[in-house]
Amino acid sequence: MTSIEEGIANLVARLEAMDARLQAEIYPKLVRAGAAPVLAALQSESPVESGTLKASMATRVQGYGQSAMSATGVRTRFGRPYNGKFRRPSKYIHLVARGTTHSRANPFMEVAAALSQDAALGAMLAIAESELSGGPK
């Protein structure tokens, strides 16, 4: 096992032993910390023609009691003009990522996910250690 895997196994054991109220406080913080490197990698790997796609990317974290979820992608209502036309990335991101009959696919989302996996886990472990050791709130 790698050091990150050992750290996660230790973290999971410590979190499961905690009170449900404390779990509900910590899980959104962990997910938010893990989502930041994913968003940064997604923005760095995204293709740039007008910059609208990169500017539209965001992360939303939602806590659900003893669990939390993060959604990282393009904002649905974001858009801005480019060359006289209004561009809304939520309408064309699938065409960029998967390609069309006229343009080659650019699987930047998969690349960003692979590149940011260790950084996201490391950020989550750092926040967990800080929270569990009674560090800054």
Q: Which helix (H) or strand (E) holds 79?
A: none
pLDDT of residue 112: 92
* Cβ atoms < 10 Å from Cβ of 103: 10
Which residues, in sequence order, are bridge partners of residue 74?
57
Q: How confident is the model at residue 98 (pLDDT cuts 50, 70, 90)?
A: very high
Span 44-63, pLDDT tens digits: 999 988 889 999 999 999 88
CA dist 53 → 19, 39, 116 (Å): 41, 13, 19
Query: Hey, where are the domains in the chain?
Result: 3-132
Task: Give this prediction's pTM.
Answer: 0.81
